[in-house]
Structure 1
Amino acid sequence: MPIIVDIDVMLARRKMAVGTLADLIGITPANLAVLKNGRAKAVRFSTLDALCRVLDCQPGDILRFEPDGAQRDDTARTKETET
């Protein structure tokens, strides 16, 4: 999936436990795990808003886009420069 979820990065920067974040944003630890592991199919704006408020960050600090072919393109460029 081209959307990467960086909640773990923000949790580490804030020195916060997953359970604490789940309590503060009002979702279950299981649902937060689904989101942070990239298995969620959608995220509510209210959840994203709560994440940004609690973690004191912007949506782009939590979510980023990485095209599916990005890794393959980098590998191809490396091989081209080696030859």
Structure 2
Amino acid sequence: MSFIIWIVVGGILGWLASLVMRTDAQQGLFLNVVVGIIGALLGGWLLSPLFGAGTINADDFSLMSLLVSFLGAVVLLAIVNLIFRGRVR
């Protein structure tokens, strides 16, 4: 069941992060899910120790874990934009 939650919540978080970073027109449903899940992993690695919360990948489903996962997805999109476009939007 947690795999389905990863996909659904990861897709929503990836979509919200793509709206914030203004890359929504370039991404489809699949990339939103990938950005959400990988962003949650990145958030767990970078941001989780700072906030003292888990991520959606660690089966910690709380408001703080959603925030950490969302911020990880935004950081991931910023890194991708920096690498491929030379600037962060």
The two structures share one fold, judged by TM-score above 0.5? no
Report the TM-score when normalising by structure 1.
0.31
Which structure is larger by alpha-carbon Rg, 1 or 2?
A: 1
Which has the higher relative contact order, 1 or 2, with Cα contacts under 8 A spaced 6 or more apart? 1
Report the TM-score when normalising by structure 2.
0.30
Structure showing the higher strand proportion among its residues: 1
Structure showing the higher helix proportion among its residues: 2
